[in-house]
């Protein structure tokens, strides 16, 4: 006899059966794509804004002096607390979810990109300036490659924050998605169904992180080769 009722804590087999039914019936796909769309739109927007802002502040003493405090203050605000204002400004649809997701994933990408841009070799930058290279050329040839590895670290962290923000927005606003499906299943005591939707959410997060790591492997190829060389040297020492 189960100590906890199966309606509250289903067995793994019950959760698997429920997930199978959601997939076969097609009931899971619409919430899945709703969550993916909202998270992806906000993630791309927030990440691009973060990289552009980090590049600006890293190359402008004036901008860093006057704007860094505002960026830090913005990060200190719990993003969920801004949800009611976002509803007023953007409504209860995709736009509001994308805005909250963009705000949530902005700072992890920004912080890593800013540190990466500042870590560029100053001697190499000086050499480029001696040969009359403009700011854009220096940025693309020196600073961006130096920051690429850290930018991808921020992008991978941003995925976690983007999914959290999207699910929170679905909980609060009732917007269609996996979060809404989990909430509806919980309210009707269909715990197995909620666990099935949660499993899909876990797979989505793991898959998105794996895609970012795969892209990093081929984009930041010099970092991979350096790491491999170091490993070989360590093994022969």
**pLDDT tens, position by position, 179-228:** 888 888 777 777 788 888 888 888 999 999 999 999 998 888 777 654 44
Q: Which pLDDT score is estimated for 7?
A: 60
Contacts of 192 (CB under 8 A, 6+ apart): 6, 10, 14, 15, 17, 18
Task: Domain ranges for the chain, please list them.
Answer: 29-118+145-224
Span 21-49, mean pLDDT? Answer: 89
- Place 12 in a pLDDT band, splitting at 50, 70 and 90: confident
**d(C-alpha 19, C-alpha 66), whole Å:** 51
Under CATH, which number does the domain 29-118+145-224 receive? 1.10.3720.10
**pLDDT tens, position by position, 97-108:** 889 999 999 999
Contact 110, 71 (CB under 8 A): yes
Indicate if the pLDDT at residue 24 is higher than 70: yes
The closest alpha carbon to 21, from 35, 10, 34, 9, belongs to 10
- Place 6 in a pLDDT band, splitting at 50, 70 and 90: low
Pick 67 or 232 by higher pLDDT: 67
């Amino acid at each position: 006899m189960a100590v906890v009722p199966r309606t509250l804590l289903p067995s793994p087999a019950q959760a698997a059966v429920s997930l199978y039914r959601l997939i076969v019936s097609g009931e899971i796909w619409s919430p899945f794509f709703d969550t993916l769309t909202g998270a992806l739109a906000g993630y791309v927007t927030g990440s691009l804004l973060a990289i552009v802002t980090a590049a600006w502040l890293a190359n402008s003493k004036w901008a860093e002096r006057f704007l860094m405090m505002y960026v830090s203050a913005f990060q200190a605000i719990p993003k969920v607390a801004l949800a009611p204002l976002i509803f007023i400004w953007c409504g209860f649809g995709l736009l509001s979810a994308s805005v909250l997701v963009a705000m949530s994933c902005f700072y992890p990408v920004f912080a890593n990109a800013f540190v990466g841009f500042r870590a560029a070799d100053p001697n190499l930058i000086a050499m480029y300036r001696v040969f009359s290279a403009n700011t854009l050329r220096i940025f693309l040839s020196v600073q961006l490659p130096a920051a690429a590895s850290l930018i991808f670290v921020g992008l991978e962290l941003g995925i976690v924050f983007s999914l959290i923000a999207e699910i929170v927005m679905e909980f609060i606003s009732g917007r269609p998605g996996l979060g809404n499906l989990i909430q509806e299943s919980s309210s009707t005591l269909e715990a197995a169904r909620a666990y099935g939707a949660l499993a899909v959410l876990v797979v989505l997060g793991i898959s998105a992180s794996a895609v970012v790591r795969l892209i990093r492997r081929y984009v930041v190829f010099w970092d991979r080769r350096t790491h491999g060389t170091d490993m070989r040297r360590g093994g022969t020492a």
